[in-house]
Amino acid sequence: MANEIGRKASELKRQGDHLGARAMHNPWTERLARLGYLAKGVVYAVVGVLALQVAFGQGGETTDTKGALTTLAQETWGTVLLAVVAVGMVGYVLWRVVQAWMDPDGKGTGAKGLVTRAGYLVSAGVYAFLAMAAFRLVLGTGGVGRHGDQSAQTWTARLMSQPFGQALVAVVGLVIAGVGIWQAYKAWKEKFRDKLRLDGMPPRQAEWAVRVSKLGILARGLVFVMMGVFLVQAALTANPRRAHGLDGALATLAAQPYGTVLLALAAAGLVAYAIYMALEARYRRFLGA
């Protein structure tokens, strides 16, 4: 019986690898994925640069990814750039669905693999909403809606109004914090290296690429931990106003002792994460590539 189960599991994995390879042999799948990583990097670059401006007293504001879209729309050629970002986001969503469904990264059907692939679907949903917000701005059919703290507090209040709502908010907070801890662990152990074709870069550049990527992933992970902790606090106090989004997490850092330094470090980390996304767009290793 055990041997039969093992054979079936191996067969399922081979089928998944075959489907994943077929997906990546389609040149448009890879192009959309690379454009998606680049679009994601642009959004995080805007968030980081705006926060850096706040830290150095040059204006700007702490904002989240939706706020970054609004900022892009206000720039010269903003509509054109935003349209490219919107298309890139669609590409990123499709790539996440491919990762979840066809498993081109070989995560497998074990408990850990299924959780990881489910996370890809969640990511696809999040960036699908972001892509729709970008398209609304491009078409001039309205803004991106509520974002940042306002959005986080609204959906937290709605979730709390449901049966066992406080417990659900706490679980969501723990999951987000867990994702952040995993990101920090991935950065520390440099688990991202296997996804990048660093042999295509000069050794010195590859060394700096790893350092910048490590800083970026770590910074994003710590921000996620903060957002998760805020949600847990909201659940424990039954106060949705304790929930904060990305902009609220950055603003909280700024309000601490030595807040300017903390905000500058976090902002620089988000810019570094944007660079990491650009590296993924250029050097990402795909199955069969």
Q: How many residues does the chain have?
A: 289
d(CA 137, CA 119): 27
pLDDT (tens place) for every residue of the chain, 289 residues total: 445 544 554 554 555 555 545 555 567 778 888 999 999 999 999 999 999 999 998 877 888 888 888 888 888 778 899 999 999 999 999 999 988 888 877 788 888 889 889 999 999 999 999 999 999 988 887 665 555 667 788 889 998 998 888 999 999 999 999 999 999 999 999 989 888 988 878 889 999 999 999 999 999 999 999 999 999 999 999 999 899 889 899 999 999 998 999 999 999 999 999 999 999 999 998 764 4
Phi, psi values for residue 143, rounded to 5°: -80, -165
The pTM for the full model equals 0.85
d(CA 73, CA 46): 12
**Which domain does 97 fall in, by range?**
2-283
- Using an 8 Å Cβ cutoff, are 231 and 172 in contact? yes
What is the pLDDT, as a whole number, of residue 5? 47
What is the pLDDT, as a whole number, of residue 64? 84
d(CA 248, CA 220): 14
Residue 81 covered by a domain = yes
Residue 289 covered by a domain = no
Cα-based distances in Å from 195 to 114, 211, 271, 285: 19, 15, 20, 5
Please state the separation of Cα 187 from the chain's center in Å: 14
CA torsion angle 243 247 249 255 (round to 10): -110
Please spell the DSSP secondary structure of 137-166, one letter per residue.
HHHTS----S-HHHHHHHHHHHHHTSTTHH
d(CA 218, CA 240): 27
Residue 31 covered by a domain = yes
Residue 245 covered by a domain = yes
- Using an 8 Å Cβ cutoff, are 231 and 248 in contact? no
- The dihedral of CA 199, 201, 204, 208: what is its sign? negative
- Using an 8 Å Cβ cutoff, are 262 and 196 in contact? no
Report the number of distinct structural domains present in the chain. Answer: 1
What is the pLDDT, as a whole number, of residue 76? 78
Q: What is the CA radius of gyration of the chain?
A: 20
Residue 288 covered by a domain = no
Residue 127 covered by a domain = yes
